[in-house]
Amino acid sequence: TPVVGVLALQGDVREHLIALASADALARPVRRPEELAEVDGLVIPGGESTTISKLATLFGVMEPLRARVRDGMPVYGTCAGMIMLADKILDPRSGQETVGGIDMIVRRNAFGRQNESFEAAVDVKGVEGAPVEGVFIRAPWVESVGAQVEVVAEHEGHIVAVRQGNALATSFHPELTGDHRVHALFVEMARGNTRAGSL
């Protein structure tokens, strides 16, 4: 069973812990570098990406996180977490940094005022069966991707889910629905990374 952490600095941590547990992972919150070292994979939750960025630096996990992502640790970011995984933000706030790992440019709050929050059925490559109910809350979209990036979902012509190697990101929040198929997909990615000897 893979141990999957949720970066627990700010955002909807609890919902991800619950979704991961129901997708058969051992889920635990991660705040410190020592805790990061113990997980097979990591979720970066939704919330506010500038706040998460600043707290990650403050807690000393930004650099260790970059190192583990570079080393290929499976990582999944939702919404603000997607922004954290972008190599580049189109419109960063001052002091806002990212972990990076996905060769993409994201636009924060991209869907605009009329559409601050909405739900839409989204077809996600790799998720079998009916479309996923996408919950979008002041969501980013992906402006452009590099050659290594696979687009796994679009909504109205905009890229809303991507994968590059062991890194997965969605603009929307599967953890806020009862449907945990996207988490199950990620847990499978983390299972591939389970180190010998860990459970």
**Is 182 a residue that touches ligand GLN (CB under 6 A)?**
no
**Is 48 a residue that touches ligand GLN (CB under 6 A)?**
yes
CB 15 within 8 A of CB 176: yes
Q: How far is the CB of 68 from ligand GLN (least distance, A)?
A: 22
**Is 177 a residue that touches ligand GLN (CB under 6 A)?**
no
| Whether 175 is catalytic | yes
> Tokens 């996990």, residue?
61
Instruction: Give the Cα separation of 166 and 163 in Å (integer).
Output: 7
Instruction: Give the Cα separation of 118 and 138 in Å (integer).
Output: 9
Quick one: 108 or 163, whose CB is closer to ligand GLN?
108
Q: How far is the CB of 198 from ligand GLN (least distance, A)?
A: 30
Instruction: Give the Cα separation of 159 and 144 in Å (integer).
Output: 8
In this structure, what are the phi and psi dihedrals at residue 83, rounded to the nearest 5 degrees?
-60, -40
Quick one: 116 or 150, whose CB is closer to ligand GLN?
116
Quick one: 16 or 40, whose CB is closer to ligand GLN?
16
Out of 2, 5, 46, 77, the residue judged to bind ligand GLN by CB under 6 A: 46
Nearest residue to 142 (alpha-carbon basis) of 87, 70, 76: 87
**Is 41 a residue that touches ligand GLN (CB under 6 A)?**
no
Q: Which residues contact 11 (CB under 8 A, 6 or more apart)?
A: 45, 46, 47, 48, 52, 80, 81
Q: Which of 79, 155, 180, 183 is catalytic?
A: 79
List interacting residues with ligand GLN (CB under 6 A). Answer: 46-49, 79-80, 83, 108-109, 137-138
State the binding site for L-glutamine: 47-49, 108, 137-138
Which residues are catalytically annotated?
A: 79, 173, 175
